[in-house]
Structure 1
Amino acid sequence: MSSDAEIALSSNSWAFAEAKKLADRYAKEAPAKGYVLFETGYGPSGLPHLGTFGEVARTTWVMHAFQKLSDIPTKLVAFSDDMDGLRKVPDNVPNKELLAENLDKPLTAVPDPFGTHNSFGEHNNSRLIAFLDQFGFDYEFKSSTEAYKSGEFDDTLKLVLEKYDQVINVILPTLGEERQATYSPFLPVCPRTGKVLQVPIITRDVDAATVTYNDPETGEEITVPVTGGHCKLQWKVDWAMRWHALEVDYEMAGKDLIDSVTLSSKIVRILGKKPPEGFNYELFLDQDGKKISKSKGNGISIEEWLTYASPESLALYMYQNPKKAKRLYFDVIPKAVDEYYTFLDKFPEQEAKQQFGNPVWHLHNGNPPAANMPISFGMLLNLAAVVNPDDKSVLWGFISRYADGATPENNPALDQLAGYAVAYYNDFVKPHKKYRQPTDQEKAAMEQLVGMLKEADQTTDAGDLQSMVFQVGKDHEFENLRDWFKALYETLLGQSQGPRMGSFISLYGVKESTALIERVLAGEDLAAG
């Protein structure tokens, strides 16, 4: 192992800790297939959401970390379980009656309610592929329907049939008594209706590779091959079958699937192969603390996040603390944006160990760009709170004065950030602004601050301006200086939290800030505009 790899392993990066599992797995020799296979799964019964993106992104970061530790080639497969039967109608799609008429059919046999593709499964697959491509993931897309129907899974399906009793003996203890009586790992696709049936298997023929069941509507005895897409496996067995057939080396899953991972691992061992290495991440929650669901469409979508912030900020939110349940809603965006630039700014000055532990190393595959962000997203939002911009050009009138030489042309990242700030401010900050008038104590303090600002000018350093604000709070004997700053936020910005006031005054302008405070002292209602 190279010295760089040893340094990387000593970092606090969870991605390198995961990659080491694979490095140890193949420490003696590379896999016979010639590469290490990473897999991420998607159930296209609903539209892709940010949790889907998070799993692919996190798997990619582990793969990149492994590439730092080993010379063995790698491959990432994004697998869509699109042969699964549609069990319920999602809440967030049009033409629900169309889906209701096709329940239990494979997702690739259910008509597309959006009318853009041949099936609901294909529509959702295309959405998945589009956002994976948008983020530049290097992957191979694989469809369950195509793999079953092409015969790619045939050998392993025959093996499942051969090991039938051992397989169901793993599953049955986890089921209720009634379900035990009818359970089969094989789900025949009904030749008459096209539905994926959950029916008891009455006989099975290992040599012919067939199973027999009674049609639940006609009572007729039907025999079908387990190969060629005539049967679909129950998903826990399906997962193990896929690991075996594709020789998957690594796959992570949500914390809610820990028991399923355990069962599938037992089954793949029965089939004769080693289960993949893995990682169980915590789930994302919506604004009410509930699990995000593809079918419900709660939480925030990929498109919505990218309306208000950069792809890098989204990636950072996914990278951090994967073992911690986190709310995935609009209010987490500003912090994620500013933390990204903080990490980016620190990177060049860090030693190698710290760089390998810095999220931006992983976000940018070891080559993060130079940081050039003179103003934080939070500060732009606070600027927007006093200028009420309709577009980013209004902000640029202040930015260009604050950040010497900055223009939209030579700082496109800052220009983009300004656009995000305007969109976020108008949709999430402005509707909730609530101004109040200052108390007598606060008025006296603000009058002193006005006097001090009038003796300053636009060239006064932000640190000196901060000292002025701090000194005024001390002079007027606020019991807690945080109450003084909170008073400025609530009277000037209409919000209970806000910026470092010295930096804000420098950005907005000493003259402009003075005038803003004087408007409040005059009793003007800033909420009126």
Structure 2
Amino acid sequence: MTISQDELIAAAQVSKAWPFQEAQRLARRLPHGKPGGVLFETGYGPSGLPHIGTFQEVLRTTLVRRAYETLTGGAPTRLVAFSDDLDGLRKVPDNVPNQAMLAEHLGKPLSRIPDPFGKYESFAAHNNAMLRDFLDRFGFEYEFVSSSECYNSGRFDDALRNVLAHYDAIMAIMLPTLGEERRRTYAPVMPISPTTGQVLQVPIEVVDAEAGIIRFTDADGSLVEQSALGGRAKCQWKVDWAMRWVALGVDYEMYGKDLTDSGIQSGKIAEVLGGRKPEGLIYELFLDSKGEKISKSKGNGLSIEEWLTYGSEESLGFYIFANPRSAKQLHAGVIPKAVDDYWQFRSAIPGQDIHKRLGNPVWHLLRANGRHEGADAPGQGESLPVPYSLLLNLVGVLGAGATREAVWSYLGNYVANADPAAHPALDALVTKAIAYIRDIIAPTLVRRAPVGGEIAALQALDAALAAVDPATGAEELQTLVYEIGKQPEFGFANLRDWFRALYETLLGSEQGPRMGSFIALYGIAPTRQLIAEALARAE
């Protein structure tokens, strides 16, 4: 089903998918775009390495950007990835070398601290390079903007003058939000000490706003009068955020729930500075498997590298797509379903009408980086010949013998043209499944012995499998398994109990695949061997 641009725009105008809901709000503000392009921004603090939170914010912002382009028939847009690298180093990260050296530079701007890795001219330059490599790895289209470059080059000088000119109004916004002790040291602009090079949290006096001259007490107690321009000062966080919105002309920026109050204060400051708070979505934060907030210091989260070890890049995007205003648990246990759901939604695209297609997460993900393959053209839906969950079950029963070659030898029972080159997506998942079973499942895998009527039921299943043609298909095998579970003499209250017994005795898990599909994939003879091993445990 080919979709015209007019049909696409009309459907986008009424779509309930969250990227289009965001785009519709932005389009009401900027229905025809603006000269130079509508500006989307994501922010990043380079005091540490990029992580999954960085990925999700850039991805979600990109999804809104593409939705806005669709909605407006191609209004030009830009995405800025902003690095706040003039910020002072407050704490030495745990995961970097040369920590003693970094400790000597606490309080100094990240862009003026040596690189502990010894590769770049500064710590910020190292982390900025990692950020750019990280974003490039996923094919994001963006412009990188450095806070240090903006301040040092004078790009922010006019914005700084604007802040100094509205010093009292900004203080009136900020002081009621601060504790008594913080109020005594707070100033909207933080000078950089001419003696220590540190970013100072001290009161300032505006001597000449137009000239950018301020007065403050330095770290050594001396009274200093100097320019705040040209990288000799930077704004406090909430003021900096607002100043950046106005100076760069940001139209859309989303942020986490933990920055809700910051967004309110920065929005007020942006108005004082003569600008306007951008449109944006406030998203919920990730939780660990226990429902607790993820903390980098605790290490209770899941890294990008870990996800990509056990699941695909597309599945990560799919998992992040859904319900950004709802908290998500982020742990290895969510990966298999995310992989299978991604492929289920991808294969559905060609048969969907325009409204369902625009609500399909994969439609948005395929367009995220300017690539439309499979999104609008008919007949381009792709599918995975073997679900990842079933692949995991196969690898699980193979155990220590689960090599890529061994897995593909079994896939020949189930997949036509079982050649890795013919199924690259499946081949990539074979390696990931082996790693997932090895690292996540195997340490907890226990196949229990069958008890009571389960023993006779397994014996009956073994006999039935011995009597069928080895080429019997998955559906017929599924029916065979069903019929055995229905027999009253085995004592199962329902089929669910029968399948649970199969999963726990044959596979070592409480849940599992369609048994007919598993038997067809694993093979009848190997399945009978699993049954024999289970019955032996009952003796």
Pick the TM interval, shorter chain.
Answer: over 0.9
Provide Cα deviations, 1:335-378, integer angstroms capped at 9, x if missing partner: 11111101111111111111111011111104336313110111
CA distance in 2, matches of 1:410, 1:367: 19
Q: Which residue of 1 aligns with 2:160?
A: 157
Corresponding letter in the other structure for 2:269: I
Higher mean Cα deviation, 374-383 or 507-516? 507-516
- In the alignment, does 2:148 pair up with 1:136? no
Within the candidate set 88, 95, 117, 1:85 is matched to 88
Task: Tell me whether 1:204 sits opposite 2:207 in the alignment.
Answer: yes
Asked if 1:447 corresponds to 2:453, the answer is no
Identify the residue that residue 215 of structure 1 maps to in structure 2: 218
Distance 2:413 2:508 in 1: 25
- Aligned pair count reads 522
Is it true that 1:112 corresponds to 2:124 in the alignment? Answer: no
Change (3 A) 1:404 1:377: same
2:9 to 1, 5, 19: 5
1:201 deviates by 1.0
Cα gap change, 1:474/1:286 in structure 2, threshold over 3 Å: closer, same or farther? same
Name the CA distance, whole Å, in 2 between partners of 1:297 and 1:234.
Answer: 29
Summarize the alignment of residues 73-472 of structure 1 with structure 2, pairs less than 5 Å apart.
73-216=76-219, 218-294=220-296, 297-365=299-367, 366-368=372-374, 370-388=381-399, 389-472=401-484
Inter-partner Cα distance in structure 1 for 2:266 and 2:46 = 20
Distance 1:113 1:296 in 2: 23
Residues 440 and 30 (structure 1), Cα distance of their counterparts in 2 relative to 1, 3 Å cut:
closer
Match of 1:64 in 2: 66
What is the alpha-carbon distance in structure 2 between the residues aligned to residue 50 and residue 412 of structure 1?
25
User: How many Å apart are 1:404 and its aligned residue?
Assistant: 1.4
AA matched with 1:474: K
Distance 2:23 2:314 in 1: 22
Report the secondary structure of 2:421's partner residue: coil
Query: In 1, are the aligned partners of 2:413 and 2:522 still within 8 Å (CA)?
Result: no
Aligned to 2:79, what secondary structure does the other structure show? strand
> Structure 2: how far apart are the matches of 1:168 and 1:159?
14
CA separation of 1:127/1:293 partners in 2, compared to 1, >3 Å: closer, same or farther?
A: farther
Could you tell me whether the CA contact under 8 Å between 1:384 and 1:425 is conserved in 2?
yes
Q: CA offset at residue 291 of structure 1?
A: 2.8
Gaps of 5+ in 2: 375-379
Q: Any stretches of 5+ residues in structure 1 without a counterpart?
A: none
CA distance in 1 between partners of 2:155 and 2:520 (Å): 65
Counterpart of 1:474 in structure 2 is: 486
Contact 1:250/1:276 (<8 A) preserved? yes
Residues 438, 30 of structure 1: alpha-carbon distance in 2 compared, 3 angstrom cutoff: closer
SS in 2 for 1:200: coil
Letter in 2 for 1:438: P
Preserved CA contact (<8 Å) 1:92 1:297: no
| 1:115, distance to aligned residue in structure 2 (A) | 2.5
Q: Hey, what's the Cα distance between the residues in 2 that align with 1:289 and 1:112?
A: 36
AA in 2 matched with 1:61: L
Deviation at 1:412, TM superposition (A): 1.1
Letter of the 1:509 counterpart: G
Q: Indicate if the aligned counterparts of 1:39 and 1:251 stay in contact, CA closer than 8 A.
A: yes
Residue 501 of structure 2 is aligned to residue 487 of structure 1? yes
d(CA) in 1 for partners of 2:239, 2:533:
69
Q: Distance in 2 between matches of 1:207 and 1:334?
A: 59
Distance 2:147 2:297 in 1: 20
Superposed CA offset, 1:19-59 (max 9, x none): 111211122x542x431000000011121110110000000
1:354-407: CA deviation from partner (whole Å, max 9, x where unpaired) = 111101111110433631311011101100111124421111001122111231
Is contact 2:246–2:273 with CA below 8 Å preserved after alignment?
Answer: yes
How much does 1:186 deviate?
A: 0.7
Supply the distance in 2 between the matched residues of 1:133 and 1:471 (Cα, whole angstroms).
Answer: 53
Partner residue in 2 for 1:505: 519
Q: Give the TM-score taking structure 2 as reference length.
A: 0.94
Distance change in 2, residues 1:107/1:89 (3 Å): same
Partner of 1:22: 26
Can you list the C-alpha shifts for 1:420-479, whole angstroms capped at 9, x where unaligned? Answer: 111111111111101211102110110111111112123222122112222222212312
> How far, CA to CA, are the matches of 1:142 and 1:441 in structure 2?
68
Give the 3 Å change call, closer, same or farther, for CA 295–159 of structure 1 in structure 2.
Answer: farther
**TM-score, normalized by length of structure 1?**
0.95
